[in-house]
């Protein structure tokens, strides 16, 4: 405080208190007044960054000792200002005054919010100063403006038709209440989530808000806006994001030819590849012939469309030679480092119609057969071979039939090989062959039985026949599975009918 002043003793003060005042430098008397610490400000609100003024005055008889400013209460009180010491942001309004202890705090911050008290201390020799009297206190609130909002999107591009999330953040504001609004091209969007979190010892706050946007082809020129409203703002703060920074529109390919296919031989054909409505504009186009890359195509400079997308065209001119018939020409496009997109057309060559009275011009000057002619020749050769084989088979069948009818003898089955015959010892009288030859007799003459002398090892047997007509022929003798062996003599079988095709066999026993 300033220099001591002698004041008349206050009326009504006890002698004990008067002696105490005298002991610590107070002057008592009939005119002395009791000490008062006045803080007229009950609540003060200030914007962060502005200067805060805290008013304090001391009146009446005061003991020797300093006046200090303290923030808070109890053990957590903080020293804000005293006459000795260095406080960079705090200054006294009237330096040297014994009654006016008003201070100013520059560049206020949200952390400066709290209750401030102006306190009169009494100096005690050999001990710490003791608090003598305190003011009523001033509640200070610091309002902080939110920082400019920042809008962030995904790290990679997304194709049209996909939904992408965007986030808006702002911080350092106080009080806590804040409003976040999302707009797309001026149209309000519903936010997915908004979260307010405390910062810096709960005296300032930050906000984070998220919104989902479904991308479209026309968003190449769309803008997303995050708008923030707060009590400290005279006008809303805005953060923007261009959707073109995250949008990708894949190209659509169309191929055409001039003239339309098919074309005649040696005709000039122009293939055109149209790459339509893509974004961004970085695109690389390549021409391929039968999967082999060719550099004869013209460049593809992109042109901007009304919706912000791009279109480009490239052409390839080729000569429709016979060797290029059915060749495949491909337009390959690589857009924004994505997998390539292809479009293809097959070159088809047709022969011109034949002129009246003239043969169509040959497209094969070397007189070599074409592919179709080779197929026809191969089919004709195969058919001719099949016909020859068929004729040969028919001829062989007829030859065998003739031999079968004119054969003089029929082989009898060997009894050893017949599955019906039981195994037995060899019989010397077994007959392997039967002689079917006989003389044709006249009608008037009676046929006589004819026997052939046979030894026990004879392999032949004669056939006994009845009287045959001149027109009758014996065709077959059924000798299959007949075992000819020694047996008692049997009566001669009755003659078969004239038209019979079978004859029985009789073996004469010697």
Domain co-membership, 276 together with 336: yes
The residue from 248, 282, 310 where one domain ends is 248
The residue from 346, 373, 389 where one domain ends is 346
Answer yes or no: are the C-beta atoms of 117 and 39 closer than 8 Å: yes
pLDDT at 404: 63
Q: Which residues of 138-167 are buried (b: 16+ CB within 10 A; e: fewer)?
A: bebebbbbbbebebebeeebbebeeebebb
441 in a structural domain:
yes
Closest to 115 measured CA to CA, from 138, 142, 90, 82: 138
The residue from 248, 268, 290 where one domain ends is 248
- With 0.85 as the threshold, say if the pTM is over it: no
Domain co-membership, 337 together with 440: no
494 in a structural domain:
yes
Domain co-membership, 456 together with 485: yes
> From CA 159, how far away is CA 338, in angstroms rounded?
11
385 in a structural domain:
no
3-state secondary structure of 99: coil
> From CA 291, how far away is CA 127, in angstroms rounded?
99
pLDDT at 423: 46
Domain co-membership, 451 together with 499: yes
Local confidence pLDDT in tens for the 510 residues of the chain? 333 333 333 333 334 334 444 444 444 444 457 889 999 999 999 999 999 999 999 998 888 899 999 999 888 899 999 988 778 899 999 988 889 999 999 999 988 999 999 999 999 888 888 999 999 999 999 999 999 999 999 999 999 999 999 999 999 999 999 999 999 999 999 988 999 998 866 688 999 999 999 999 999 999 999 999 999 999 999 999 999 999 999 999 999 999 999 999 999 999 999 999 999 999 999 999 999 998 777 778 899 999 999 999 999 999 999 999 999 999 999 999 999 999 999 999 987 655 434 454 444 545 556 677 788 898 899 999 999 999 999 988 988 888 765 544 444 444 444 444 444 454 544 444 444 444 444 444 444 444 444 444 444 444 454 554 544 454 444 444 444 444 455 555 555 454 444 445 555 544
320 in a structural domain:
yes
Neighbour tally for 117: CB within 10 Å: 22
Q: If phi over 0 gives left and psi between -120 and 50 gives alpha, with beta otherwise, what is residue 291? A: left
Neighbour tally for 330: CB within 10 Å: 21
Rg (CA), the chain: 65
3-state helix, strand, coil in the chain (%, to 5): 10, 35, 55
What are the tokens at 352?
């011109």
394 in a structural domain:
no
pLDDT at 372: 73
pLDDT at 369: 66
- Please give the order of strands across the beta sheet that includes 303-304: 252-258, 267-278, 310-320, 303-304
Domain co-membership, 132 together with 85: yes
CATH number of 114's domain: 2.60.40.10
Range of the domain at 243: 150-248
462 in a structural domain:
yes
Domain co-membership, 304 together with 422: no
Total number of domains in the chain: 4
Domain co-membership, 258 together with 184: no
412 in a structural domain:
yes
323 in a structural domain:
yes
pLDDT at 495: 55
Domain co-membership, 52 together with 169: no
Beta bridge partners of 212: 165
pLDDT at 398: 87
What are the tokens at 364?
């094969």
- Map tokens 């300033």 to a residue: 2
> From CA 146, how far away is CA 148, in angstroms rounded?
7
């Amino acid at each position: 405080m300033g220099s001591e002043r002698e004041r008349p003793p206050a009326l009504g003060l006890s002698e004990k208190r008067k002696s105490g005042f005298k002991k610590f430098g107070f002057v008592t008397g009939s005119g002395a007044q009791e000490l008062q610490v006045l803080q007229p400000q009950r609540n003060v609100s200030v914007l962060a960054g502005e200067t805060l003024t805290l008013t304090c005055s001391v009146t009446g008889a005061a003991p020797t000792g300093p006046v200090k400013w303290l923030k808070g209460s109890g053990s957590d009180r903080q020293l804000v200002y005293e006459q000795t010491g260095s406080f960079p942001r705090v200054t006294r309004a009237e330096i040297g005054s014994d009654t006016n202890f008003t201070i100013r705090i520059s560049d206020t911050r949200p952390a400066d919010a709290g209750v401030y008290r102006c306190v009169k201390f009494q100096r005690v020799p050999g001990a710490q100063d003791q608090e003598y009297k305190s003011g009523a206190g001033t509640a200070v609130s610091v309002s902080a403006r939110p920082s400019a909002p920042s809008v962030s999107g995904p790290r990679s591009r997304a194709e049209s038709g996909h939904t992408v999330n965007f986030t808006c953040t702002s911080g350092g504001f106080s009080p806590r209440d804040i409003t976040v609004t999302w707009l797309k091209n001026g149209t309000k969007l519903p936010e997915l989530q908004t979260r307010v979190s405390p910062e810096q010892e709960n005296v300032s706050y930050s906000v984070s808000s998220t919104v989902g946007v479904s991308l479209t082809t026309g968003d190449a020129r769309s803008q997303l806006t995050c708008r923030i409203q707060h009590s400290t703002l005279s006008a809303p703060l805005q953060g923007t994001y261009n959707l073109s920074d995250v949008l990708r529109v894949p190209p659509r390919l169309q191929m055409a030819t001039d003239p339309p296919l098919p074309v005649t031989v040696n005709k000039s054909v122009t293939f055109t590849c149209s790459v339509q409505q893509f974004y961004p504009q970085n695109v690389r186009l390549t021409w391929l012939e039968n999967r082999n890359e060719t550099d004869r195509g013209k460049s593809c400079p992109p042109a901007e469309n009304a919706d912000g997308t791009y279109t480009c065209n490239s052409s390839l001119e080729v000569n429709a030679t016979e060797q290029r018939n059915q060749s495949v020409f491909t337009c390959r496009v690589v857009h924004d480092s994505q997998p390539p997109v292809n479009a293809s057309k097959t070159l088809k060559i047709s022969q011109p119609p034949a002129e009246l009275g003239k043969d169509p011009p040959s497209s094969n000057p070397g007189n070599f057969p074409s592919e179709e002619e080779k197929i026809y020749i191969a089919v004709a050769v195969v058919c001719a071979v099949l016909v020859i084989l068929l004729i040969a088979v028919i001829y062989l069948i007829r030859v065998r039939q003739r031999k079968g009818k004119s054969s003089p003898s029929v082989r009898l089955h060997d009894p050893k090989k017949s599955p019906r015959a039981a195994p037995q010892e060899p019989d010397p009288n077994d007959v392997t062959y039967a002689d079917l030859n006989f003389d044709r007799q006249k009608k008037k003459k009676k046929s006589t039985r004819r026997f052939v002398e046979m030894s026990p090892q004879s392999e032949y047997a004669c056939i006994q026949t009845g009287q045959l007509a001149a027109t009758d022929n014996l065709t077959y003798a059924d000798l299959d599975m007949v075992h000819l062996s020694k047996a008692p003599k049997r009566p001669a079988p009755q003659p078969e009918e004239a038209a019979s095709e079978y004859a029985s066999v009789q073996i004469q026993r010697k």
